[in-house]
Amino acid sequence: MVKTNSMMRIQRLACSAVLFMMGSATLAQESFNAYFTPDKKFLQLPVKNGAPKRNLEIWKDGVKVRFFDMELAEGAPDWYAYLDISEWKGKSIELRVDKLAKNAQAFHPIKQSDLDSNAGKLYAESLRGQFHFSPKHGWTNDPNGLVYYKGQYHLFFQHNPYGRGWGNMTWGHAVSKDMIHWKEVGDAIHPDGYGPMFSGSAVVDSANTSGLGKPGDPAMVMFFTGATCWCQGLAWTNDGVHFNKLDRAAVPRINRDNRDPKVFWYAPGKHWVMLFWVEREGGVHTQQFLRSDNLKDWTPTSIVKGGTGDDRYLFECPDFFELPVDGNPANKKWVLSAANTIYAIGRFDGQTFTPEAERLQGQFGRDYYAAQTINNEPTGRRIEIGWWRTHTDKGAMTFNQSMSIPQELKLVTTPEGIRMVRIPVKELEVLRGRKLLTGTRSLDDKAANPLQGVQEQLLEIQAVVEVGKSKELHFNLNGLDILYDVAAQEISADGVKARLPLVKGSLQLTIYVDRIGVEIFANNGLVFMPINKNLEGKELSVTVKGGKVRFTQLDVFALKSGWE
């Protein structure tokens, strides 16, 4: 249809009226682009928590090399995120923003920096866990690619570098010599044509089956889910610093939803095994198993079915490993778990997992999710780290969410059958500072509090207690009450409860206390109860009700920070 001048004038007036009603801020919004030459390590990105999200892109030589959205501050920022631009030093790149107010301060001028200019001392923030890993800035969730490579433990993690909320899924990267003192070393793999980089795993290709390394100098090979192609991608590094991606999917999409590849070497068959979650028809959760000789080409072998819909048994983020029972190398079983830690124990022949016991409870706490174990661990231990959904996006905090402490997994025989236990790794002892309490002691409901006057944020408690005829045992740890109900044989904290039977009349407890919550390991790891709660109190006490208890061990240590 041909438009007359009158019709066009009417449309312009109508459009102006709509924009006027939407507000003057809408009138001022426009796209923004600018060219600049990097001469420092980072591009400063001003963040305003809760601001409308803007889409940002970095282009080089006509190719989009980074893209993300963020709560962009157009005025004074709450904090700065940092985009590493060092690989483009001395070369012209373009910054594009989809919407920006004409009078916005953001990128007027573009600011570069070699240092973090956020206020306050990094890692000393009030809600920063002091021995639980969290990123310098931004959001984190699932641990990814836990592996020991070239003398260091590598922790990759789901990371939003540009905001405290979930999004822009990138693999963050931290390294450690001891799993306790972590150093964040920058993001490893970024969103691209595959899509955002969802969760996965990493292996060391010691035999160079992939050809991506050299004899005696193996590559670390990483597997991720591309959240646009919904395929399983492959990346690798030859030094733990620089990363490359295969130019095709290692495993194309199988079904509508499939993700989170776990890969390991199956020594008896001399081949690689991959498994990942696939949602099948009717909403059935399954774990798809595949095999490969070279890490690049994969053949499906078997499927293990889990729950359906809201029954999330074997739903996303699988882990799979073999453990000796009661430490006996002649009696080993395989453990299959997924994001909510409910697990199965059974047999595996390199292609098919046959469960012998299913739907076993892996933890009894709150907001512990998507745990993964470390591949190529040099001492042969099976060590797990989980995503701990802590509440750290408060006030001036520039980061959100944490990881658990590392814990060794073992299989033990119990009256109910074979079960998995979790034991805090011995390396945590390096954090021990002043011993606040030690030895044996008896307490009744009239006894003085043995921790009276002690004020410490970071604690390790090792206790073995004969409960006798008492009714209740309480630990008050900086405002969190942990109760053991003797009659019910139940432990509870902040509304979370777990069955905890006495063993020959005794109870064993290991408790780690941080600013962001506690992790309780009871009866030598049979019960693991993480409680995420920001602890702002300063009271420490041990009290008894209804009788007398005898502590055959009550050791309390003040802990040092794990941040260096």
Is a pLDDT exceeding 50 seen at residue 17? Answer: no
Instruction: Kindly state the percentage of the chain with pLDDT values over 70.
Output: 95
More confident residue, 11 or 505: 505
Mean of pLDDT over the chain: 94
pLDDT of residue 549: 97
The CA distances from residue 172 to 45, 47, 67, 223, in Å, are: 17, 19, 16, 14
All CATH 2.60.120.560 domain ranges in the chain, comma separated = 431-559
Please give the CATH superfamily to which domain 431-559 belongs: Exo-inulinase; domain 1 (2.60.120.560)
Of the residues 61, 69, 142, 444, only one is catalytic, namely 142
What band does 28 get if pLDDT is binned at 50, 70 and 90? Answer: low
pLDDT of residue 23: 41
Three-state SS at 165:
coil
The Cα–Cα gap between 218 and 207 comes to 7
Is a pLDDT exceeding 70 seen at residue 163? Answer: yes
pLDDT tens-digit series, residues 542-555: 999 999 999 999 99
pLDDT of residue 538: 86
All CATH 2.115.10.20 domain ranges in the chain, comma separated = 138-424
| Average pLDDT, integer, range 296-314 | 98
pLDDT of residue 119: 87
Q: What is the DSSP string of 76-104?
A: S-SEEEEEE-GGGTTS-EEEEEEEEETT-
pLDDT tens-digit series, residues 166-199: 999 999 999 999 999 999 999 999 999 999 999 9
DSSP H/E element including 171:
strand 170-176
The Cα–Cα gap between 44 and 471 comes to 58
Give the N- to C-terminal CA distance of the chain in Å, as an integer.
70
Whether 178 is catalytic is no
- Environment class of 336 (CB within 10 Å of its CB; exposed 0-12, middle 13-18, buried 19+): buried
Inter-residue contact 127 to 120 (CB < 8 Å)? no
Is a pLDDT exceeding 50 seen at residue 366? Answer: yes
pLDDT of residue 532: 97
Is a pLDDT exceeding 80 seen at residue 80? Answer: yes
Enter the CATH code of domain 138-424.
2.115.10.20
Is a pLDDT exceeding 80 seen at residue 164? Answer: yes
- Count other Cβ atoms within 10 Å, centred on residue 5: 7
Q: Considering the entire predicted model, what is its pTM? A: 0.93
- Count other Cβ atoms within 10 Å, centred on residue 139: 25
What band does 24 get if pLDDT is binned at 50, 70 and 90? Answer: very low
| Residues whose CB is less than 8 angstroms from the CB of residue 495 and which lie 6 or more positions away in sequence, other chains included | none
| Average pLDDT, integer, range 69-90 | 97
What band does 300 get if pLDDT is binned at 50, 70 and 90? Answer: very high
